[in-house]
Amino acid sequence: MKQWLSSPLSIGNFTLPFSLFDFLLRFALPSVGFLLGTFLLYLIIRRLTKRYVKEEKKQRTILLWTRRVLRTVVFIGILLSIVSLMGARAYGSLGRFFRILNKPFFSSGKTQISVISLLLFIPVIAIASWTGKLVSASLESRSLKRFGLDAEQSFTIGRLLRYAAMVLVFIFGMSIIGIDLSAIGVLFGVLGIGIGFGLQSIIADFFAGITLISMGLVKEGDRIRVGEYDGNIRHIRLMNTELITFENETLIIPNRHLTGGTIHNYSYKDRRVVIVNEVDVSYDSDLDEVIELLKAVAAKNPWLQSNSEILVRVKTFASSGISMQLRTWIHDVGARADALSWTNLEIWRIFGAHNIEIPFTQIVVHQQDNSSIDLLRPESSVSSAAESHNPDRSEIGED
């Protein structure tokens, strides 16, 4: 039994450089120990975080980074266990493996691209993106406010500086991993050729994004209409814009659609808007009283813009009643739907309290005896009237 545990394992004709005892002692037990240790440590950190950190957002951030760090520790621990298990052969195998990965498969001047160079692109891009977000957040929240810039100008400058920082960090990272900066010209040449093979839309989105950010046509938080969709802008990226509709649907809109057509921006310079409520009243109504009641409703609107003018207009004399129009300024376009609904409900209530009739379309059928029937009144039955006029016919218009 002892000899079986200490003898090297073999798979077919291939003999492994470790025994079952070495596998259990150097790999299985350390790996299980790493997993259990990190799990217990995570439970302790989570309990302490929930006890001492009150904000839920900070709790999620701490636990997220804790999981990432502990997973990295587990990965490194398991990797070290494998190296310890393989012994000297592991170092030789790893050396040959890294030499293969580091062998360049593309060379241009001083630039040599290998698999390791491509893998190093990932952290370079991640660091560039993180640096850009950090610069943008710092400038928008602190520095730019000192210059008295409004929200639109702060957003535009912050985004431009963000992408500038990302480009600088990316170029610096490429120089570190051995990419000659002169190769960027080759890259743009490849992009120029690719435009003719289907990259027109991508390039158009890219420059449209730069146009949106630099000109400040829209900014994050604006309420806009694009085609048949209304919503609020959540994120503006170089390639696309994320729009959240009022049904909480997320729309990813290519930037060329925003610069290539009309943008209905409800909050471009001013978030104040006018809501329009229309209602019909009967011809028997006192219009002066109706006007005063409508103004009273608008004056109680919770979203009313202070010191604004309330307008009530007699729009038209319709077939069923007189059309009235109430125009009210509200201070935030985001409350437009709520303000419209609130005003309609209050108009219904105040008209009912003052016995002001809101008419509806009625259909009158004239008979040969010059009498008339109101089809919408329950006391007037079309079928009974028709039968009294002609007992043999039960339908109007029957031959």
Q: What does the pLDDT look like over 116-133, one tens digit per residue?
A: 777 777 888 888 888 887
Residue spans in the chain of domains classed CATH 3.30.70.100: 273-353
pLDDT in tens, 247-278: 888 888 888 888 777 777 877 777 888 899 99
Closest CA to 299 of 332, 334, 330: 330
Cα 128 to Cα 168: distance, rounded to the nearest angstrom: 8
Does pLDDT of 27 surpass 80?
no
The mean pLDDT of 378-399, rounded to a whole number, is 43
Compare 372 and 43 and report the one with higher pLDDT.
43
Q: What is the model's pLDDT at position 180?
A: 64
Two tokens at 231? 């919503």
Cα 60 to Cα 302: distance, rounded to the nearest angstrom: 36
Give me the DSSP letters along 299-322.
Answer: HT-TTBPTTPPPEEEEEEE-SSSE
Does pLDDT of 390 surpass 60?
no
Q: Which CATH fold topology does 273-353 show?
A: Alpha-Beta Plaits (3.30.70)
Cα 224 to Cα 242: distance, rounded to the nearest angstrom: 12
Q: How confident is the model at residue 289 (pLDDT cuts 50, 70, 90)?
A: very high
Cα 324 to Cα 344: distance, rounded to the nearest angstrom: 13
The mean pLDDT of 71-99, rounded to a whole number, is 71
Total H helices, total E strands in the chain? 13, 14
The reply to whether the predicted model has a pTM over 0.75 is no
